[in-house]
């Protein structure tokens, strides 16, 4: 076969092999089920109508008429792999679910699970696991690790490596500067266009210098420069796939790819130093964009406008001096710190109000619980006593509880008054009991009057209640029962305290557990009732009522939900938790790059080295 056809076939085989390996479980189940319905138990992998081999072959035939060079065709296959083949898992889960529902091998011992979240970095799709499982080395050790992993990956490439003259670094920087000016003139594209441009950065450089692996190739990239280009490309792959950033912010930050490549070529400390000005700038821009919602405001004073101005400044001013990034960061950092401080103050106010409201709710619940249990336990309690307790004395108790707490003498005294008042209106059958009541009435009335006066209870109403209470006491002193209450029949059991009725959820699935375990500071993205996308940080969660308060990036309250509400959002896929928002973007990206490269290295079969 011709050389072009060979390279094309190798590219197709590589993406098919990767897809079949990645979705081995789902494809195994589909193979058995398709075999069942067609009566072919020996169905081959490449006969699966939705398998990677068939899809890739169909795609190859579909673009066969395109009159483009091999290099462009290989890029198209790479995009096909990244945009389609890497995301086939959900399709395979759906097809298997349809077979199960139709009763085709419904009991097959291959349970279909929700596909594990993944992230695509540098063309490699990896599980979205915690990138901090192992600490990353710093400085030159990290750069050396990335270089070794990248070169190991290239060594496993089926494409032949030719010995060609190397493009001088100054020439490469000049070409990158030309691309940088083009990016400045074009402005931020949408994310879909960015993904396409992202894959074309290397190809554009290759075409500019006649670099390649075919017979027309005349030059090659130096190994160090090639490492740098691949590292920065993977970094921006991560940015485009980062769920923490809104699409408009991704589009802005991705315009920095060319300047970052240039910077990394002239200053490789960019990868190894956490306090490098360019890393700090990128981290700060990403941090500012995490909680941003696209409200259409693109003015210069808006967050979007400020980030755009910083990006344009780098594109316009950066040549090879890293101080351009330091100057840009020094301009942006004070603005970000001011926003963070303002948000912290506003958020603390929200928390204080929420805590106060809950404290008041719990205190009212406790007071109601004490009073209603006494009323319930005495079916013949006069109406005047109920009125005193429910309309006035409850506020006396509430004030004592809020000011001094449940262990205080004031609270205990207020409860004692309730018990003595209830006792004072129960019939007294013996002279000794009547004598005891006679002695207890004056101090009891004095305490009730003082308590009602302390809360500024209506004086006229207080006097009326005292007169009615006096009639009840006179009846008890005469040995008879006070007037029976009209209506309000006794119920079978006392009403529950409000504090006991908590907003909880049944721990019946992963989404309830996920909602319950949300930590304060976690960001949630969800679709509001009006259909608008919202992003809020969990600022406060009630351990009593299960209420969650969410604030925006400015610390303003934008949502109040129960645990069950949050679980429903996650279950219905109308909401998603944003992971690792506190970790700097560069640290997360570098960790993901190392994990992806290691995973790709482990997935390759080891070949015997000839003697």
- pLDDT-derived band at 114 (thresholds 50, 70, 90) equals very low
Question: 550 has which bridge partners?
Answer: 538, 559
Question: 118 has which bridge partners?
Answer: 127
Q: Are the C-beta atoms of residues 551 and 558 closer than 8 Å to each other?
A: yes
If phi > 0 it is left, if psi is from -120 to 50 it is alpha, else beta; for residue 546 that is left
Distance separating the N- and C-terminal Cα atoms of the chain = 30
**What's the pLDDT score for residue 418?**
94
Q: Compute the C-alpha angle 101/107/113, nearest 5°.
A: 70
Single out the residue of 122, 138, 160, 147 nearest to residue 222, CA to CA.
147
| Average pLDDT, integer, range 139-152 | 69
Q: Distance (Å, rounded) from C-alpha 243 to C-alpha 250?
A: 10
- In the predicted structure, residue 129 carries a pLDDT above the cut 60: no
Q: Are the C-beta atoms of residues 361 and 355 closer than 8 Å to each other?
A: no
| Average pLDDT, integer, range 111-118 | 41
- In the predicted structure, residue 507 carries a pLDDT above the cut 80: no
- In the predicted structure, residue 289 carries a pLDDT above the cut 80: yes
The 3-state DSSP class for residue 534 equals strand
| Average pLDDT, integer, range 102-110 | 73
What are the distances in angstroms from CA 325 to CA 238, 261, 329, 589? 21, 13, 6, 19
If phi > 0 it is left, if psi is from -120 to 50 it is alpha, else beta; for residue 6 that is alpha
Joined together, the tokens standing for residue 603 give 């997935």
**What's the pLDDT score for residue 436?**
92
**What's the pLDDT score for residue 12?**
81
Of the two residues 133 and 452, the one the predictor is more confident about is 452
Convert the pLDDT of each residue in 366-409 to its tens digit: 999 999 999 988 878 899 999 999 999 999 999 999 999 899 99
- In the predicted structure, residue 501 carries a pLDDT above the cut 50: no
- In the predicted structure, residue 475 carries a pLDDT above the cut 60: yes
- In the predicted structure, residue 502 carries a pLDDT above the cut 50: no
Q: Is the dihedral of CA 339, 340, 341, 347 positive or negative?
A: positive
- In the predicted structure, residue 469 carries a pLDDT above the cut 60: yes
Single out the residue of 246, 244, 264 nearest to residue 256, CA to CA.
264
Single out the residue of 516, 514, 521 nearest to residue 571, CA to CA.
514
Angle, helices 257-266 vs 303-317, to 10°: value is 50
Residues with Cβ within 8 Å of 488's Cβ and at least 6 positions away in sequence, in order, are none
- In the predicted structure, residue 551 carries a pLDDT above the cut 90: yes
**What's the pLDDT score for residue 188?**
62
Q: Are the C-beta atoms of residues 235 and 589 closer than 8 Å to each other?
A: yes
| Average pLDDT, integer, range 340-365 | 90
Q: What is the dihedral of CA 307, 310, 312, 316, to 10 degrees?
A: -170
For the chain, what is the mean pLDDT?
80
Q: Compute the C-alpha angle 569/571/575, nearest 5°.
A: 35
**What's the pLDDT score for residue 600?**
61
| Average pLDDT, integer, range 466-480 | 87
Angle, helices 139-155 vs 223-241, to 10°: value is 100
- In the predicted structure, residue 133 carries a pLDDT above the cut 60: no
Q: How many residues does the chain have?
A: 611
**What's the pLDDT score for residue 500?**
45
- In the predicted structure, residue 258 carries a pLDDT above the cut 70: yes
**What's the pLDDT score for residue 492?**
41
Other CB atoms within 10 A of residue 110 CB: 14
- In the predicted structure, residue 137 carries a pLDDT above the cut 80: no
- In the predicted structure, residue 8 carries a pLDDT above the cut 80: no
Convert the pLDDT of each residue in 169-224 to its tens digit: 888 888 888 888 887 777 666 666 666 666 566 667 666 666 555 555 667 777 78
The rounded percent of the chain whose pLDDT value lies above 70 is 78
**What's the pLDDT score for residue 595?**
77
Of the two residues 396 and 145, the one the predictor is more confident about is 396
Of the two residues 153 and 259, the one the predictor is more confident about is 259
Burial class of residue 203, CB neighbours in 10 A (0-12, 13-18, 19+): middle
What are the distances in angstroms from CA 186 to CA 179, 181, 183, 255, 315? 11, 9, 5, 10, 11
Question: 166 has which bridge partners?
Answer: 220
Of the two residues 505 and 341, the one the predictor is more confident about is 341
């Amino acid at each position: 076969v011709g050389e072009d056809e060979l390279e094309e076939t190798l590219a197709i085989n590589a993406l098919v092999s990767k897809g079949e390996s990645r979705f081995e479980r789902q494809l195994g189940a589909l193979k058995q089920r398709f075999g069942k319905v067609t009566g072919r138990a020996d169905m081959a992998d490449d006969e699966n109508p939705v398998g990677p081999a068939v899809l890739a072959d169909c795609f190859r035939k579909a673009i066969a008429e395109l009159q483009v060079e091999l290099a462009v065709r290989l890029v198209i296959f790479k995009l096909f792999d990244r945009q389609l083949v890497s995301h086939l898992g959900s399709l395979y889960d759906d097809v298997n679910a349809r077979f199960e529902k139709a009763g085709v091998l419904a009991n097959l011992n291959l349970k279909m699970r929700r596909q594990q979240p993944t992230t695509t970095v540098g063309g490699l799709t990896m599980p979205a696991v915690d990138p901090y499982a192992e600490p990353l080395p710093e400085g030159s050790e990290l750069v050396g690790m990335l270089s070794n992993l990248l070169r190991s990956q290239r060594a496993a490439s089926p494409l032949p490596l030719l010995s060609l003259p190397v493009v001088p670094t100054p020439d490469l920087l000049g070409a990158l500067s030309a691309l940088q000016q083009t990016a400045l003139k074009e402005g931020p594209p949408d994310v879909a266009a960015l993904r396409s441009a992202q894959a074309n950065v290397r190809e554009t450089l290759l075409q500019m210098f006649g670099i390649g692996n075919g017979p027309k190739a005349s030059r090659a990239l130096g190994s160090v420069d090639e490492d740098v280009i691949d590292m920065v490309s993977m970094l921006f792959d991560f940015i485009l796939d980062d769920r923490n950033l809104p699409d408009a912010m991704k589009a802005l930050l991705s315009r920095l790819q060319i300047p970052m490549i240039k910077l990394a070529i002239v200053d490789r400390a960019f990868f190894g130093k956490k306090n490098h000005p360019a890393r700090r700038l990128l981290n700060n821009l990403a941090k500012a964009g995490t909680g941003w919602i696209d409200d259409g405001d693109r003015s210069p004073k808006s967050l979007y406008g400020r980030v755009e101005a910083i990006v344009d400044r780098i594109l316009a001013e950066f040549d090879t001096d890293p101080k351009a990034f330091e100057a840009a960061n020094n301009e942006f950092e004070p603005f970000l710190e001011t926003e963070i401080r303002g948000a912290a103050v506003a958020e603390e106010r929200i928390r204080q109000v929420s805590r106060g409201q809950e404290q008041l709710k719990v205190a009212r619940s406790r007071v109601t619980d004490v009073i209603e249990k006494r009323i319930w336990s005495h079916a013949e309690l006069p109406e005047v006593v109920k009125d005193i307790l429910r309309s006035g004395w409850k506020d006396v108790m509430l004030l004592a509880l809020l000011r001094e707490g449940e262990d205080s003498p004031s609270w205990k005294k207020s409860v004692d008054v309730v018990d003595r008042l209830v006792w004072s209106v129960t019939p007294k059958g013996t002279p000794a009991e009547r004598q005891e009541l006679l002695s207890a009435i004056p101090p009891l009335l004095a305490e009730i009057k003082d308590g009602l006066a302390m809360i500024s209870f209506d004086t006229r109403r207080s006097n009326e209640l005292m007169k009615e209470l006096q009639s009840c006491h006179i009846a008890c002193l005469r040995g008879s029962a006070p007037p029976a209450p009209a209506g309000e029949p006794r119920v079978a059991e006392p009403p529950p305290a409000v504090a006991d009725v908590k907003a909880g959820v049944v721990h019946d699935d992963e989404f309830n557990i996920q909602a319950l375990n949300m930590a304060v500071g976690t960001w949630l993205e969800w679709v509001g009732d009006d259909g608008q996308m919202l992003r809020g940080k969990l600022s406060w969660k009630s351990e009593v009522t299960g209420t969650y308060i969410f604030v925006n990036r400015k610390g303003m309250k934008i949502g109040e939900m129960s645990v069950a509400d949050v679980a429903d959002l996650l279950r219905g896929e109308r909401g998603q938790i944003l992971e690792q928002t506190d970790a700097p973007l560069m640290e997360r990206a570098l960790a993901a790059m190392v994990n992806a490269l290691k995973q790709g290295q482990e997935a390759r079969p080891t070949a015997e080295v000839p003697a």
